[in-house]
Amino acid sequence: MSDLTGFELVNNLKKKPVFIFTTAYCEYAIEGFKADALDYLLKPIDLPEFTKAVNKAKEWLEIKNEKNSLVETTKDFLFIKSEYKIIRINFSEITYIQGMSEYVKIHLAGRKPIMSLLSLKSLEAQLPIELFMRVHKSFIINLQKINMIERNEIVYDDGTIIPVSAQYKAIFQEFVDKNFLI
Protein backbone atom coordinates (compact mmCIF):
# COMPACT_ATOMS: atom_id res chain seq x y z
CA MET A 1 0.00 0.00 0.00
CA SER A 2 1.51 3.27 -1.00
CA ASP A 3 -0.58 5.93 0.78
CA LEU A 4 -1.85 4.00 3.79
CA THR A 5 -0.45 1.24 5.99
CA GLY A 6 -2.56 -1.78 6.92
CA PHE A 7 -2.69 -0.56 10.52
CA GLU A 8 -3.92 2.89 9.44
CA LEU A 9 -6.56 1.30 7.24
CA VAL A 10 -7.93 -0.92 10.03
CA ASN A 11 -7.80 1.83 12.65
CA ASN A 12 -9.76 4.21 10.36
CA LEU A 13 -12.62 1.79 9.81
CA LYS A 14 -15.82 2.46 11.78
CA LYS A 15 -16.61 -1.25 12.00
CA LYS A 16 -13.59 -3.53 12.10
CA PRO A 17 -13.78 -6.70 10.05
CA VAL A 18 -12.19 -9.99 11.04
CA PHE A 19 -8.67 -9.72 9.68
CA ILE A 20 -5.32 -11.47 9.61
CA PHE A 21 -2.20 -9.36 9.26
CA THR A 22 0.55 -10.52 6.94
CA THR A 23 3.96 -8.88 6.72
CA ALA A 24 7.62 -9.67 6.28
CA TYR A 25 8.55 -7.87 9.51
CA CYS A 26 8.08 -9.62 12.86
CA GLU A 27 8.32 -6.37 14.84
CA TYR A 28 4.76 -5.49 13.72
CA ALA A 29 3.19 -8.51 15.44
CA ILE A 30 2.39 -6.70 18.71
CA GLU A 31 0.92 -3.76 16.84
CA GLY A 32 -1.21 -6.21 14.80
CA PHE A 33 -2.68 -7.81 17.90
CA LYS A 34 -3.26 -4.40 19.51
CA ALA A 35 -5.33 -3.59 16.40
CA ASP A 36 -7.39 -6.75 17.15
CA ALA A 37 -5.98 -8.92 14.38
CA LEU A 38 -7.30 -12.47 14.66
CA ASP A 39 -3.93 -13.83 13.59
CA TYR A 40 -0.55 -12.68 12.30
CA LEU A 41 1.37 -14.37 9.50
CA LEU A 42 5.02 -13.71 8.81
CA LYS A 43 6.12 -13.86 5.16
CA PRO A 44 6.98 -16.12 3.47
CA ILE A 45 3.77 -17.89 4.45
CA ASP A 46 3.58 -21.65 4.03
CA LEU A 47 0.31 -23.45 3.23
CA PRO A 48 -0.20 -25.21 6.61
CA GLU A 49 0.28 -21.92 8.47
CA PHE A 50 -2.12 -20.13 6.11
CA THR A 51 -4.71 -22.93 6.38
CA LYS A 52 -4.53 -22.85 10.17
CA ALA A 53 -5.14 -19.06 10.22
CA VAL A 54 -8.08 -19.33 7.80
CA ASN A 55 -9.66 -22.15 9.83
CA LYS A 56 -9.24 -20.09 13.00
CA ALA A 57 -11.06 -17.17 11.34
CA LYS A 58 -13.79 -19.48 10.05
CA GLU A 59 -14.40 -20.99 13.51
CA TRP A 60 -14.46 -17.54 15.10
CA LEU A 61 -17.07 -16.33 12.58
CA GLU A 62 -19.22 -19.45 13.08
CA ILE A 63 -19.26 -18.94 16.86
CA LYS A 64 -20.06 -15.24 16.42
CA ASN A 65 -22.92 -16.01 14.00
CA GLU A 66 -24.42 -18.59 16.37
CA LYS A 67 -24.29 -16.17 19.29
CA ASN A 68 -25.94 -13.49 17.15
CA SER A 69 -28.66 -15.87 15.95
CA LEU A 70 -29.74 -17.05 19.37
CA VAL A 71 -30.39 -13.97 21.40
CA GLU A 72 -32.09 -15.04 24.61
CA THR A 73 -33.80 -18.03 26.14
CA THR A 74 -36.20 -18.15 29.06
CA LYS A 75 -38.46 -20.74 30.64
CA ASP A 76 -41.22 -20.80 28.01
CA PHE A 77 -39.94 -18.96 24.93
CA LEU A 78 -36.87 -17.86 23.05
CA PHE A 79 -35.93 -15.16 20.59
CA ILE A 80 -34.57 -16.24 17.21
CA LYS A 81 -32.95 -14.01 14.62
CA SER A 82 -34.44 -14.66 11.20
CA GLU A 83 -33.60 -12.51 8.20
CA TYR A 84 -33.55 -8.99 9.63
CA LYS A 85 -35.99 -9.63 12.47
CA ILE A 86 -35.85 -11.03 15.98
CA ILE A 87 -38.85 -13.29 16.46
CA ARG A 88 -40.31 -14.55 19.73
CA ILE A 89 -41.17 -18.24 19.63
CA ASN A 90 -43.07 -19.92 22.46
CA PHE A 91 -41.87 -23.47 23.12
CA SER A 92 -45.51 -24.60 23.00
CA GLU A 93 -45.75 -23.42 19.36
CA ILE A 94 -42.83 -25.52 18.14
CA THR A 95 -43.86 -28.80 16.51
CA TYR A 96 -40.39 -29.86 15.39
CA ILE A 97 -37.08 -28.39 14.29
CA GLN A 98 -35.27 -29.46 11.16
CA GLY A 99 -31.53 -29.04 10.65
CA MET A 100 -30.53 -27.97 7.16
CA SER A 101 -26.73 -27.66 6.88
CA GLU A 102 -25.92 -24.42 8.75
CA TYR A 103 -29.58 -23.36 9.05
CA VAL A 104 -32.49 -24.57 11.13
CA LYS A 105 -36.12 -24.57 10.08
CA ILE A 106 -38.45 -24.26 13.06
CA HIS A 107 -41.87 -25.70 12.26
CA LEU A 108 -44.65 -24.05 14.25
CA ALA A 109 -48.28 -24.90 14.92
CA GLY A 110 -50.51 -22.40 13.16
CA ARG A 111 -47.66 -20.32 11.67
CA LYS A 112 -45.30 -20.67 8.76
CA PRO A 113 -41.84 -22.12 9.56
CA ILE A 114 -39.00 -19.82 10.58
CA MET A 115 -35.48 -20.18 9.16
CA SER A 116 -32.41 -19.07 11.06
CA LEU A 117 -28.65 -19.22 10.50
CA LEU A 118 -27.97 -21.47 13.45
CA SER A 119 -26.74 -25.00 14.01
CA LEU A 120 -29.16 -27.65 15.24
CA LYS A 121 -26.67 -28.55 17.98
CA SER A 122 -26.49 -25.03 19.40
CA LEU A 123 -30.28 -24.64 19.35
CA GLU A 124 -30.70 -28.04 21.01
CA ALA A 125 -28.53 -26.85 23.90
CA GLN A 126 -30.96 -23.96 24.52
CA LEU A 127 -34.15 -26.03 24.56
CA PRO A 128 -35.62 -27.50 27.76
CA ILE A 129 -34.86 -31.26 27.80
CA GLU A 130 -38.21 -32.06 29.39
CA LEU A 131 -40.00 -30.73 26.28
CA PHE A 132 -37.67 -31.47 23.36
CA MET A 133 -35.70 -34.48 22.16
CA ARG A 134 -33.33 -35.13 19.30
CA VAL A 135 -34.59 -38.18 17.39
CA HIS A 136 -32.49 -37.94 14.23
CA LYS A 137 -29.35 -36.11 13.12
CA SER A 138 -31.64 -33.62 11.34
CA PHE A 139 -34.66 -33.44 13.69
CA ILE A 140 -35.57 -32.28 17.19
CA ILE A 141 -39.18 -32.87 18.20
CA ASN A 142 -41.50 -31.29 20.74
CA LEU A 143 -42.49 -34.27 22.91
CA GLN A 144 -45.85 -32.70 23.69
CA LYS A 145 -46.83 -32.52 20.00
CA ILE A 146 -46.48 -36.23 19.16
CA ASN A 147 -49.77 -37.55 17.78
CA MET A 148 -48.81 -41.12 16.93
CA ILE A 149 -45.76 -43.38 16.75
CA GLU A 150 -45.72 -45.97 13.99
CA ARG A 151 -42.71 -48.29 13.83
CA ASN A 152 -39.69 -45.95 13.89
CA GLU A 153 -41.57 -42.84 12.82
CA ILE A 154 -43.36 -40.01 14.60
CA VAL A 155 -46.58 -38.95 12.89
CA TYR A 156 -48.11 -35.49 13.40
CA ASP A 157 -51.73 -34.39 12.91
CA ASP A 158 -50.91 -32.73 9.58
CA GLY A 159 -49.41 -35.97 8.22
CA THR A 160 -45.77 -34.99 8.71
CA ILE A 161 -43.58 -38.00 9.42
CA ILE A 162 -40.31 -37.67 11.36
CA PRO A 163 -37.97 -40.69 11.35
CA VAL A 164 -36.37 -41.93 14.57
CA SER A 165 -32.82 -42.99 13.67
CA ALA A 166 -31.02 -45.97 15.21
CA GLN A 167 -28.65 -43.60 17.03
CA TYR A 168 -31.53 -42.01 19.00
CA LYS A 169 -33.95 -44.95 19.15
CA ALA A 170 -33.01 -46.18 22.65
CA ILE A 171 -33.48 -42.81 24.37
CA PHE A 172 -36.74 -42.20 22.50
CA GLN A 173 -37.99 -45.66 23.42
CA GLU A 174 -37.17 -44.92 27.07
CA PHE A 175 -39.37 -41.80 26.86
CA VAL A 176 -42.21 -43.82 25.31
CA ASP A 177 -41.90 -46.57 27.92
CA LYS A 178 -42.05 -44.04 30.79
CA ASN A 179 -45.26 -42.60 29.36
CA PHE A 180 -46.89 -45.82 28.19
CA LEU A 181 -50.13 -46.85 29.87
CA ILE A 182 -50.59 -50.62 30.02
Task: Single out the residue in 52, 68, 84 at which a domain terminates.
Answer: 68
Q: What's the number of domains the chain is made of?
A: 2
Same domain for 166 and 83: yes
Residue type at 109 in one-letter notation: A
Same domain for 114 and 60: no
Sheet containing strand 132-136, edge to edge, reads 111-117, 103-108, 94-100, 139-142, 132-136
Same domain for 153 and 94: yes
Q: Does 157 reside within a domain?
A: yes
Residues spanned by the domain of 114: 71-178
37-82 pLDDT per residue, tens: 888 888 999 999 999 988 888 888 877 766 655 544 447 899 999 9
Kindly report the number of other CB atoms within 10 A of residue 28's CB atom.
19
137-153 pLDDT per residue, tens: 999 999 999 989 998 99
Q: Is the pTM of this model over 0.85?
A: no
Same domain for 171 and 95: yes
